[in-house]
Amino acid sequence: MCTGKCAKFIGSALYPLALFSIIANILLLFPNFEVEYLQETGKLTPEILYLGGILGGGIAVLFPAIHIHATGNGGCCANRCGMFLSILFSTLGVVGAAYCLATSSLGLINGPMCLTGEGNWSRPFSFDSEDLNLNFSDSEDHYLSNSKIWDLCKKPQDVVLFNMVLFILLICFSVIELVLCLVQMVNGFFGCICGTCGKRRAGPV
């Protein structure tokens, strides 16, 4: 087993995931690719403004990715110190990915903020909404499984699908980040004991 190669792979995989998380969260700030909703208060959901994809799945994972990738290189004492530090950095990545996962899940469940037929800006699909008289104890009544009620949102156009796709992507990214950081914590532990690589070059015969 080569813990150094494993660390390099994990670090390389975390780079694009962190970047995609940042991009997805930035897009959520501009429903229907329009700026006006960000400029006016009360037209974006709290879960978007929590910046889970930027701060959690993005920045909080990017720093561990840089260190974990660099840890794969050999160093003093087979870079055991670097492997130990990678455990701490991976913990930061786990926290960031978990934060992104939590905010994205809530954003997906409660639905978007939009202009309803009543002429009010609200979240008609959230469980405590008074704009939609449905029995949410029945899963078929929830907007995720009933696209027929999406037209309750009049503006921004196609905001329901827009939010759904981006939040689902953020959930997927954060789950993968979470798994990779947890794997690196285990890999870092073995790296502290064995060094960055278990193979030794054979000396001259």
Q: For 22-74, what is each residue's pLDDT tens digit?
A: 999 999 999 988 898 998 888 999 999 999 999 999 999 999 999 998 887 65
- Alpha carbon distance 3, 75 (integer Å): 13
Query: What pLDDT was estimated at residue 80?
Result: 78
Q: For 169-198, what is each residue's pLDDT tens digit?
A: 999 999 999 999 999 999 988 888 876 664
Q: For 63-100, what is each residue's pLDDT tens digit?
A: 999 999 888 765 544 577 888 889 999 999 999 999 99
Mean of pLDDT values over 11-19: 96
Mean of pLDDT values over 134-144: 60
Cα 112 from chain centre:
18
Report pTM. 0.86
Query: What pLDDT was estimated at residue 138?
Result: 47
